[in-house]
Amino acid sequence: MTSSERPRASWFPDSTPAAPRTLDEAMGQRPAATLAVIGAPRAIAPVEVRRALEHGLDVLVVGEGLAPDDAAAEAAFAGERGLLLLVDDAVIDGTPIGGALAAVRTGGLAVVATDVAGAVEATCAAERAGYGAGQVLVVGDPDREEVVGGAATLAAVARLGADPGTTAITVIGPGDARVLRAIRHACVATGKPAVLCDPCGEPRRGIGWESVGSIAELPRALVRLGVDPGPPPPPRSAPARGEIVLGLLRARSTAHEVLGVLLPAGIDVASNVARAGVLPDDVGGHTVLALPSVAERIAWLERVSRTERVGAIVVDLPATPAADAEAPGLLAALGEVAGEAHAAGRELRVIAARSRPASRAPTAVDDALAQLGALVVEGAGAAATAALGTPDRGPVSAPPLGGRALSVITLAADDVAASLAARSVPVLPIAWSAPAGGDARLARLVGLLR
Amino acid sequence: MSELGERVDAANREAVRRMLEAAPTWNGVVRARHVVTGLGEREVCLAGPAVGWEAATAAQRRAVIEAVLFEGWADDEEGAAALVEEGGVTLGSAADRGGATPAALAVSPSTPVLCVEDRPTARRVWAALDATTSTGAARALDTTGDRLARRVFLRDALGPALDRAVDVAGSIELLPLLAHALHRGDDLGARTDALQTLVASELSRHLVRAGIPRGELGLVLDDLARGSTVAAALALGAARSIADAATGVPWSTIVTAMGQGGRSFGLRVAGLGRAWVTVRLDGASLVDEDLGDRPLAECVGLGAFAMPAAPALLAAYRTSDGAIADRVLAMRSITATAHPRLTVPLLGFEGVRVGIDVRRVVETGLEPLVAIEDVVRGPRVAPLAAFAAALEAFAEAAGIGDGGGA
């Protein structure tokens, strides 16, 4: 009988390994991981980013990000190894990572942008013309500077060139003229149609590529290049009684997360988030609203929740003093609405996305949620999944970028881990704490000695 | 991985290999003056890094005074204290003299110590027999008279008897005894009861064959049956022997000693040789002042790292902190490897984790627990600040950091 077959006491479970505390341990548990999402503080992040790259992982840096010098150094290091160094948000293999790109419709277009705003604008413009984007990669502004030489963009273009699911490449953002020329050459070398959007450049056209001066011209350029939008999205069914999900969220990021679950499930959703920018006139179907003002959320709640077709209300209540201070009014309104629905014999579920550290004692808000009978989950994505009341169908399938299925390790990015888990993406969170209590110098020493 | 990182990893593998190949053997019991290298005529050794009289804790001062009285250098406690304050007695570190003390005990020239030799390398260490008559919280109830009487008994009766018994046996291999004790409920740090039973069983036949006078034999056998003084010293001696095997491996960041000296907590790192790195402890983080060289056990995978082997101890701790089991499992991440011969049944006979790596402690922030007998107070914590200081000392010695690099 091998040691793995011998019985172990119930105090020490043998089937579940202890949560990894470092990237090394995480790689030991998940050697097939492809992406590290790193949200460590800026002073310490370079050490962890370098470690992830040394393990052969693509890296997405979230949170405070990297200082410009560190970003340049790590981008160069990543580029030398053909790895991706991304920032903020991304869509990889049709899976949105981070909130801002949660509503992107998947397709054959690949977008490489210097910032999230450009990525969102490009995907919106493309979608209006029927194009979906299965890969959206944000590389950060410093990448296009001469000193960096577009290392991250070039690595991304090379990877997209080899990706069978990518039918066209779009590169967004200004940069050094020589860097942009190198990027254009790399795009042409892939043999795939390419559009480069440089607000500071002159419109130009070549064989298989175009350079335009604004993102608004992207769709026409794609058409001129003969890029096929692909099949139209499947028709979406109208919600039946008691099936409508009403999302009243204080943060746009959480609204994006909710959309990120609903949209891939083929559900039609009205929203004031991102591209629409306009509040819907009425609740004809699922509605997800980002409303920073609690008074507005209460007003919408009272306006629409009495409709018998609303079956679930999703709210986000982060465990912060500011959110807890404004929560009582919203919870009281939810209590009234839920009481009325119960008295009328209607089922109405209240689902709260609320992340409270175990070390923090429950507050009055937690007590009120318990009294309300609300389902409290961690992460807006999980809340949306619970609201649907059906198993999460997972991400829309797309050929894996780089030939390997997306498998994520997160470090100091618990929100990202939760939203990925809600989408059934393999994710392994690291139980990370800053080295030596956040001492950047010690962290660098450890990095030098590893 | 950086070139420097690879060098450190290779050094750590070598350090741990030496620790795993160590085979501590008990060779005898002699008075400290015969085996403690360089021990002065008026010198006493305390646990942990060297500490002066001013910085010594109350328990250490009490131990020094008892040692002075034991040696007959003074007639009473006041005279003993005065002698030490005037510089008439030197305070040294047991670790610096190749040994270990189990508690706040001052090892003087006449103190009996167990001699442990590493069979493959013939390297010798020693461990002192504890002179307390009680355990855990009751230790504070011992009077100076009780402890002096016990020291006399250890010197004149128990020590010589054990020496004759071990001589009859030839020598006694410690790893098999430690392995058995782990399977019988000891962690070999805070708890050595099973080891005491095994040692008593092993020694009894040799004691009889050694021709110890009947009356004295009865006292010795009673003492072996009553407490775990010998077992605790053997466990400590074995830990010293195993940990010392890694001392001096260049570029290694493996911890070879931990201990408390006065109000400071100290570490030794293999790559820094025998130098101590110490940090001052404040009131909140002051580790049990009676800890002595006990944390040596954790350096070789025993004590807190072997806590799953001691369900009774763990159950007692669980009443105060249910997360200790999780913490013990998590501590595996700061160690290098598992010992092939010292295994824990409750973990599927997984080996105890050997080789605390300073880099990993600093990286994870996971401070090693140190198991102590006092279950009410729960296990103590080796402070992160000590490991951070050790890492900085290592980096400075290696010429890296602050602009340097591999």
Taking only the tens of pLDDT, chain B with its 406 residues reads 678 889 999 999 999 999 999 999 999 999 999 999 889 889 999 988 888 898 888 888 988 999 999 999 999 999 999 999 999 999 999 999 999 997 668 999 999 999 999 999 999 999 998 877 655 555 556 778 888 888 999 999 999 999 999 999 999 999 999 999 999 999 999 889 999 999 999 999 999 999 888 888 999 998 888 876 899 999 999 999 999 999 999 999 999 999 887 778 899 999 999 999 999 877 655 555 567 788 999 999 999 999 889 888 877 776 444 567 778 888 988 999 999 999 999 888 999 999 999 999 998 889 998 887 766 667 888 999 999 999 999 999 988 865 444 3
C-alpha pair distances (Å), B66 with each of B131, B145, B290: 10, 9, 15
Q: Which are the contacts of A344, defined by CB distance < 8 A and separation ≥ 6?
A: A308
* Amino acid letter, B56: A
Which of A273-287, A399-413, A421-435, B52-66 is the least confident region?
Answer: A273-287
Interatomic CA distance for residues A53 and A33, integer angstroms = 12
- A209-212/A349-353 β-pairing: unpaired
- State how far residue B309 is from chain A, nearest Cα, in angstroms: 11
Residues of B264-296 as b/e, b for ≥16 C-beta within 10 angstroms?
A: bbbbbbbbbeeebbbbebeeeebbbbbbbbbbb
Residue length of chain B: 406
Residue A303: the pLDDT is 78
Give the other-Cβ count within 10 Å of B17's Cβ. 16
Asked if B388's CB is within 8 angstroms of A436's CB, the reply is: yes
Residues from chain A that touch B349, judged by Cβ atoms under 8 A, are 3, 6
Asked if B388's CB is within 8 angstroms of A442's CB, the reply is: yes
Strands (E), A173-309: 194-197, 204-206, 209-212, 244-249, 269-271, 286-290
- State how far residue A419 is from chain B, nearest Cα, in angstroms: 25
Asked if A449's CB is within 8 angstroms of B348's CB, the reply is: no
Task: Evaluate whether B374 touches B138 at the Cβ level (below 8 Å).
Answer: no
The CA-based dihedral angle spanning residues A127, A133, A139, A142, taken in that order and rounded to the nearest 10 degrees: -30
Residues from chain A that touch B392, judged by Cβ atoms under 8 A, are 442, 445
Interatomic CA distance for residues A142 and A68, integer angstroms = 7
Task: Evaluate whether A143 touches A152 at the Cβ level (below 8 Å).
Answer: yes
Asked if B359's CB is within 8 angstroms of A449's CB, the reply is: yes
Asked if A20's CB is within 8 angstroms of B400's CB, the reply is: no
Q: Residue B381's Cα: distance from chain center in Å?
A: 16
- pLDDT band at residue A6 under the 50/70/90 scheme: very low
Residues from chain A that touch B363, judged by Cβ atoms under 8 A, are 22, 435, 443, 446, 450
* Amino acid letter, B395: A
Residue carrying the six token digits 């992830």 = A52
- State how far residue A411 is from chain B, nearest Cα, in angstroms: 12
Asked if B329's CB is within 8 angstroms of A7's CB, the reply is: no
**pTM score:** 0.69
C-alpha pair distances (Å), A390 with each of A261, A262, A382, A393: 11, 11, 12, 8
DSSP state of B86: T
Interatomic CA distance for residues A85 and A53, integer angstroms = 9
- Minimal-distance CA residue of chain A relative to B315: A11
Residues 355-374 of B with CB under 8 A from A: 359-360, 362-366
Residues from chain B that touch A12, judged by Cβ atoms under 8 A, are 308, 325, 329, 346-347
Task: Evaluate whether A145 touches A176 at the Cβ level (below 8 Å).
Answer: yes
Asked if B329's CB is within 8 angstroms of A18's CB, the reply is: yes
Asked if B395's CB is within 8 angstroms of A433's CB, the reply is: no
- State how far residue A142 is from chain B, nearest Cα, in angstroms: 24
- Minimal-distance CA residue of chain B relative to A28: B333
Asked if A4's CB is within 8 angstroms of B401's CB, the reply is: no
Asked if A22's CB is within 8 angstroms of B360's CB, the reply is: yes
Task: Evaluate whether A269 touches A259 at the Cβ level (below 8 Å).
Answer: yes
Residue B284 half-sphere exposure, CB side, CA atoms within 13 Å? Answer: 0
Q: Across the interface, which of A14, A18, A446 has its CB nearest the CB of B362?
A: A446
Residue length of chain A: 450
- pLDDT score of A317 more than 60: yes
Task: Classify A295 as helix, strand or coil.
Answer: helix
Residue B304: the pLDDT is 92
Tell me whether B384 touches chain A (CB under 8 Å). Answer: yes
Task: Evaluate whether B260 touches B147 at the Cβ level (below 8 Å).
Answer: no
- Is ipTM > 0.95 here? no
CA-based end-to-end distance of chain B: 11
Interatomic CA distance for residues B201 and B224, integer angstroms = 9
Q: What are the tokens at B198?
A: 């095994």
Q: Which are the contacts of A54, defined by CB distance < 8 A and separation ≥ 6?
A: B1
**B82-90 contact pairs (CB < 8 A, 24+):** B84/B53, B85/B53, B88/B42, B89/B42, B89/B43, B89/B44, B89/B64, B90/B40, B90/B42, B90/B43, B90/B44
- State how far residue A147 is from chain B, nearest Cα, in angstroms: 22
Residue A21: the pLDDT is 85
- pLDDT score of A307 more than 70: no
- pLDDT score of A347 more than 90: no
- State how far residue B4 is from chain A, nearest Cα, in angstroms: 6
- pLDDT score of A397 more than 50: no
Q: What are the tokens at B282?
A: 């404040």
Interatomic CA distance for residues B246 and B269, integer angstroms = 9
C-alpha pair distances (Å), A17 with each of A12, A57, B324: 10, 22, 16
| Mean confidence (pLDDT) of chain A | 80
H-run or E-run covering B189: none
- State how far residue B1 is from chain A, nearest Cα, in angstroms: 6
Top pLDDT among A396 and B367 is at: B367
